[in-house]
Each structure stands twice: as C-alpha cells, then as structure tokens.
Amino acid sequence: MDTKELENKIIEKLKSIYDPEIPVDIYELGLIYDIAVEDEGKVHIVMTLTSPNCPSAEEIPNEVEQKVRSLEEVREATVQVTFDPPWDKDMMSEEAQLELGFL
C-alpha cells in the first residue's frame, strides 16, 4: 500500500473521532494539522484542540493514537499536540461550518 492510500485510511479513522462537546469529527473541525506517513508503517500526527483548556485534552489525542494504531499497516503511531497556530473556526471544513451554523 502506498503512503497516500494509508493516509486516506488514517483520515477515515480520524473522521470517527468526535470532540464530545461538538457534533463534528476532529478532521472536519480542522484539528489535524499534519499526517506524516513514513516507511515501515510509522505515522506521526500533529494536531491541536479547540482550546488549551479543552476538557478532553487527554482523551482525544489518546483516541487518535489508538485508532491509527489499529490499522494493520501502521506499526507505530505518535501524536503531537500543538497550539501553534491556535485553532479557530475558520480551520473547519465548509461541511463542518454548515453543520454548526457558521455558514
């Protein structure tokens, strides 16, 4: 499987993870900044949260790591949380903005 195919599978997994306070998945919310797929099934994800005080600050990154690791092509998964740049609603997909009434 090439890296683009694996990245697409990872994105599908990420779309199954929701911020418990917002009815939109973390990918459409724009919380995923980067997905790096390296040789031998190593994956590194850079993500953010809606705020540094997010009540799910520990659960969401852990769930991201677990779901990505559950893919048989992934041997190792790491998740890095950053607040630079800080998240804002403009990072959401158009679909998410419609769902939340921002458009």
Reported as a single tens digit per residue, the pLDDT across 14-41 is: 999 998 888 899 999 999 999 999 988 9
> SS3 for 46?
strand
**How far is Cα 23 from Cα 53, in angstroms, rounded to an integer?**
18
**How far is Cα 55 from Cα 40, in angstroms, rounded to an integer?**
34
| Whether the predicted pLDDT of 1 surpasses 70 | no
Residue 85 per-residue DSSP state = S
pLDDT digits (tens, 9 = 90+) for 65-100: 999 999 999 999 999 999 999 999 999 999 999 988
Q: What number of other Cβ atoms are within 10 A of residue 87's Cβ?
A: 20
Domains of the chain as residue ranges with CATH? 3-84 (3.30.300.130)
pLDDT of the residue at 92: 94
Q: CA angle at residue 24 from 69 to 65, to 5 degrees?
A: 15
